Structure 1
Amino acid sequence: MANNNAKDKSLESWIWDAACSIRGAKDAPKYKDYILPLIFTKRLCDVFDDELNRIAKEVGSRKKAFQLAKADHKLVRFYLPLVPDDPEQPVWSVIRKLSDKIGEGVTTHMRAIARENPLLQGIIDRVDFNATTHGQRDLDDDRLSNLIEAISTKRLGLDDVEADIIGKSYEYLIRKFAEGGGQSAGEFYTPPEVGTIMSRVLQPEPGMEIYDPTCGSGGLLVKCEIEKERGFSNPRNSPKSTGRNACAPLKLFGQENTPETWAMANMNMIIHDMEGQIEIGDTFKNPKFRNKQGKLRSFDRVVANPMWNQDWFAEADYDNDELDRFPAGAGFPGKSSADWGWVQHIHASMNATGRAAVVLDTGAASRGSGNAGTNKEKTVRQWFVDHDLIESVLYLPENLFYNTTAPGIVLFLNKAKTKERKGKVLLVNASQVFEKGDPKNFIPEAGIQRIADTLIGWTEAEKLSRIVDHA
C-alpha cells in the first residue's frame, strides 16, 4: 500500500508539473481544456504502443502490427492513425516531433483520432490548439511545445501506470484546476472526500445502475465504482451473500450540460478504464435517460451535486413537465432556488428500492420554515418528510467546496427504508470533522470513515449524530 501511495504521489507531482509548464501554477487552470486532452492522448498513445507490441510479438514486426490494427480496429481498444516514419518509434513521437505550426498539427491529429473512434468524437477533437482571440493565439506554439515536452518525460502505458493510479492522478489534476478555478470550479468538481462518503454510504453492489444527473467531470460516478471494488474486495461481501457477481462493474450513467465538462467526464471515465454513458444536454429541461414509454429511466443509486440555488427556471418549466417529477401535493420550489426541484428529479429517477445522495446548500434544509403561511420550498420539503423518503442528513464542514466557503449538506434518500428506520431521520453534524488545508479544508480518511460508519450503521454518537422522529 505504501508503494502504491508513493506511485500516486510521484505521478500526481509529475502531472501537475507538466500542467504548470505552460505558464506556471497560477495560470495552469486557464489552460485545462488544452492540458487534459493532451495528457489523455498521451495515455492513449502509450497504451496503443503496448497493444501494437503485443501484436508484433505474434506477427514478427511493428510494421505488420500497424497494418493489422489499421485493417481491424477491433484488435485494439482505440485505433490511432498516427504512424511514425520509423514504426519502431513510439506513436506519441508523431506529436512530439511537430516543429512547425504545432497547434495546427496537434488539432489535425486529434481530429484524425476522433474520426477513427466514434467514442472519442466531441471529446478530444472539440479543442482547437490553433485558436486565436483578437488576433492572438490562445496558446502559442512555444508554450504548447513546452507542454508536449513535459508530458513526453513519462510513459503512461499499461505496464507503466495502472488504470487506478493514472485515474487518481487525472482526478488530482482536475482538483488542482478546481482550486484555481474560483466560482466556475463548482460546476465540474465535488471534493473527493464528500464523494467518498456519499458512495461509501450508498454501498453500490456489482452490476447496479448508477446515475448522476449533473455529473460534472464524472467524479461521483468514478467514486461509486471505486467504492464498489473496495467493498467487494472484502471476503465478507462475497457474491454468495449478495446474489451478485462480485466482478461485475457498475453501469454508470451521467448527463452534463457544459460541452467542455462533458468532454472532461468522458475522458475521466476512459482514463479510469471504466465504461460510462455520459450524455450532453440540460437535464432539467431535457433529461436524456428515458424508458420505452418516454418517461424517466429509474436507477438503483443516484448521486448528484447540482449547482446550488439556481434561479433561472421559470414556473413553466415545472408546470409543463410531462415526466411525473413534481407529484400532486408536493408542488415545486419557487424561482429563487431549484434545489428541491433537483431533489424531485432525483427521486423520480430512483427505482422502487433506490437510494440517493445529493449535495445541497444548507439553506435547502430550512428555507421557509419560519413562514406562517405557505412556502413552496417548505411544501416540497414537507412532502418528502411525509412520504418518509429522507433517511439521513449530513451537515458538512465549512470551506470544503471550491466555489464557496459555505458548508453544504448531503441529503440521503431511500425509497425502501427498513422497518426500524421508518418515521425517523438520522442527523449527522460533521461540521468539526475536518483539518485545515490550503486553500481549502479537507476531511481526513479517519473522519471519512467515522462519518460513513455513523451513516451506514445509523447510530447515535455524542456531539456527532442523533435520530429524530418525524413528529
Structure 2
Amino acid sequence: YEYLIRKFAENSGKSAGEFYTPAEVGLVIARIMDAEPGMDIYDPCSGSAGLLIKCELVLQEKMNLRSRKTFAPARLYGQENEPGTWAMANMNMIIHDMEGEIQIGDTFRKPKFRTGNRLRTFDRVVANPMWNQTEFKEKDYDADELDRFPKDAGFPGSKADWGWVQHILASLNDKGRAAVVLDTGAASRGSGNANTNKEKDVRRWFVEQDLIEGVLYLPENLFYNTSAPGVIIVLNQAKPQERKGKLFLLNASREFSKGDPKNYIPADAIVRIADTFTAWKEKEKYSRIVTREEIAKNDFNISPSRYIHTGEADEYRPIAEIVEELNALEDEAKATDAALKAILARIGV
C-alpha cells in the first residue's frame, strides 16, 4: 500500500503534497521522535497517516532489537480535512494492522481532539502541514478559544507555517516533543531585514522560550509538490539541563541519492541523520550546537544553512531561500504602500 501511495504521488505532481510525505523523511522523523510503548502520538494534518505509521514501525523495530515480544503499541491520532485522504489514512492503518483514530475536519479552525474546553495533549506530535498557506487571516487566530496562539508571540503573518507550529506546541504535554516539516523560508523569512516581520517575531518567541530543540535542513527535490528543500523543526517541552539555551542544527542537504522523478535519502543516511541529531554530535560541515545568543545575533534566522556550510560551493545561500525572502520583502512593500495610501487618503492628500 505504501508503494501504491508513493506511485500515486509520483503521478499526482504538486497535489501529492497534500497527502504524502516521502517515506524516508517520515523515518528520519520517527527515529528522532523515538517513541516508547503506550505513548500518544498525534498528527494534526495526517494526510495518508504515513508519519504516524512510521512512528509505530520504528517503535516495533526498537522493541525487536530489545527482544521485547509483547509491548503496548503507540496510540495513534490524526485529523485530516480532505475526505478522500481521510479514507486513505484509515485504509493505511488497516493494512498495517494498526489501530488509530483519524478524525475528519479542519484542524486549524476546528480541532477535534479536545479535553473539555482545552486541546488534548500528546507525548509526540508529528506533522507536515501544507507549506505557506495563505487562507488563514488574523481573525482566524483571534477567534481561537483554545489558547493555541500566544498573544505575546504575535500573529504569524500571511503564511500559516508558524501558526501550525503554535498549534503543535499547544498539543504537547509538559514532557512532549514534536517534529514538523516546513518550507525552508519559514526558518529565515524576515531575518536580516531592518523592518519588523511577524514570522520573525514568532520565531524569536520560540527561541526565547527555549522550545526549539533543533532544526534539520533536508536535501532538495524530495517532496512531490516542490523541488525546494524543507526543514524539520523539533520542539521539546522538557529539554535536559545540559541542552537548555541551545539549539542543535544539522545540514543534511547532501544526504541524498538521485532518483526518478525525485531524490531520496538512502537507508544509511536516514540512520546517520537521526543518530547524529539524537546524540547532538557536532561534525564539521554537517552539524553544530548553537546558543540562543548566536541565534539572536543572526536576527533569529534558525536555518542550518546559515550556520553550517557543507563546502565551497555552498558558501552562497540556497536560491529557494533567497527567493522566499524576496517574496516576503515584496509582500511587506505592498502592505506598507497600501498603508501609506490609506493614511494619505485620510488626510486628503
Task: Tell me the residue number matched to 1:398.
Answer: 220
Indicate whether 1:325 and 2:148 are aligned.
yes
Residue pairs, 1:291-370, within 5 angstroms: 291=115, 293-335=116-158, 337-370=159-192
Q: Which amino acid aligns with 1:327?
A: P
Which of 266, 273, 284 is equivalent to 1:462?
Answer: 284
| Alpha-carbon spacing, 1:367–1:246, altered in 2? closer, same or farther (3 Å) | farther
Q: Deviations over 1:335-363 (max 9, x none)?
A: 2x100000000000000000000000000
Question: How far did 1:373 drift?
Answer: 3.0
Which of 11, 30, 36 is equivalent to 1:205?
Answer: 36
Residue pairs, 1:144-223, within 5 angstroms: 170-223=1-54
Question: How far did 1:327 drift?
Answer: 1.1
2:76 alignment partner, SS class: strand
CA contact (8 A) 1:332 1:340 kept: no
Question: How far did 1:454 drift?
Answer: 0.5
Indicate whether 1:427 and 2:249 are aligned.
yes
Question: How far did 1:234 drift?
Answer: 1.9
In structure 2, what is the Cα distance between the partners aligned to 1:359 and 1:393? Answer: 10
Moved over 4 A (4+): none
Q: Which amino acid aligns with 2:140?
A: D
CA contact (8 A) 1:205 1:228 kept: yes
Residue pairs, 1:116-135, within 5 angstroms: none
CA contact (8 A) 1:200 1:224 kept: yes
Taking every aligned residue pair, what percent have the same amino acid on both sides? 68
Which of 263, 266, 269 is equivalent to 2:90?
Answer: 266
In structure 2, what is the Cα distance between the partners aligned to 1:187 and 1:328? Answer: 29
Indicate whether 1:248 and 2:79 are aligned.
no
Question: How far did 1:370 drift?
Answer: 2.2
In structure 1, what is the Cα distance between the partners aligned to 2:258 and 2:193? Answer: 37
Comparing 323-332 with 341-350, which one deviates more in the overlay? 323-332
In structure 2, what is the Cα distance between the partners aligned to 1:417 and 1:212? Answer: 22
1:233 alignment partner, SS class: helix
2:131 alignment partner, SS class: coil
Q: Deviations over 1:406-425 (max 9, x none)?
A: 00000000000011111000
Residue pairs, 1:31-180, within 5 angstroms: 170-180=1-11
Task: Tell me the residue number matched to 1:287.
Answer: 111
In structure 2, what is the Cα distance between the partners aligned to 1:448 and 1:196? Answer: 7
Task: Tell me the residue number matched to 1:436.
Answer: 258
Task: Tell me the residue number matched to 2:346.
Answer: none
Question: How far did 1:235 drift?
Answer: 2.2
Q: Which amino acid aligns with 2:141?
A: Y
In structure 1, what is the Cα distance between the partners aligned to 2:274 and 2:97? Answer: 26
Q: Which amino acid aligns with 1:174?
A: I
RMSD, matched Cα? 1.1
Task: Tell me the residue number matched to 2:65.
Answer: 234
Which of 370, 381, 385 is equivalent to 2:207?
Answer: 385
In structure 1, what is the Cα distance between the partners aligned to 2:234 and 2:63? Answer: 22
Question: How far did 1:295 drift?
Answer: 1.1
Task: Tell me the residue number matched to 1:277.
Answer: 101
1:224 alignment partner, SS class: helix
Question: How far did 1:282 drift?
Answer: 0.4
- TM-score of the superposed pair, with normalisation by structure 2: 0.83
In structure 1, what is the Cα distance between the partners aligned to 2:221 and 2:255? Answer: 12
Q: Deviations over 1:52-109 (max 9, x none)?
A: xxxxxxxxxxxxxxxxxxxxxxxxxxxxxxxxxxxxxxxxxxxxxxxxxxxxxxxxxx
Q: Deviations over 1:95-134 (max 9, x none)?
A: xxxxxxxxxxxxxxxxxxxxxxxxxxxxxxxxxxxxxxxx
Q: Deviations over 1:140-171 (max 9, x none)?
A: xxxxxxxxxxxxxxxxxxxxxxxxxxxxxx01
Question: How far did 1:324 drift?
Answer: 0.5
2:119 alignment partner, SS class: coil
Question: How far did 1:220 drift?
Answer: 0.3
In structure 1, what is the Cα distance between the partners aligned to 2:20 and 2:121? Answer: 24
In structure 2, what is the Cα distance between the partners aligned to 1:199 and 1:373? Answer: 38
2:90 alignment partner, SS class: helix
In structure 1, what is the Cα distance between the partners aligned to 2:70 and 2:171? Answer: 25
2:206 alignment partner, SS class: helix
Question: How far did 1:246 drift?
Answer: 5.5
In structure 2, what is the Cα distance between the partners aligned to 1:285 and 1:327? Answer: 16
2:250 alignment partner, SS class: strand
In structure 1, what is the Cα distance between the partners aligned to 2:160 and 2:155? Answer: 9
Task: Tell me the residue number matched to 1:109.
Answer: none
Comparing 255-264 with 368-377, which one deviates more in the overlay? 368-377
Q: Which residues of structure 2 form unaligned runs of 5+?
A: 294-349
Q: Which residues of structure 1 form unaligned runs of 5+?
A: 1-169, 239-244
In structure 2, what is the Cα distance between the partners aligned to 1:298 and 1:246? Answer: 26
In structure 1, what is the Cα distance between the partners aligned to 2:117 and 2:96? Answer: 32
Q: Which amino acid aligns with 1:249?
A: P
1:385 alignment partner, SS class: helix
Considering fraction of residues, name the structure with more strand.
Answer: 2
In structure 2, what is the Cα distance between the partners aligned to 1:380 and 1:290? Answer: 25
2:64 alignment partner, SS class: coil
CA contact (8 A) 1:196 1:448 kept: yes
In structure 2, what is the Cα distance between the partners aligned to 1:432 and 1:323? Answer: 40
Which of 390, 411, 419 is equivalent to 2:233?
Answer: 411
Q: Which amino acid aligns with 1:349?
A: S
Q: Which amino acid aligns with 1:287?
A: P
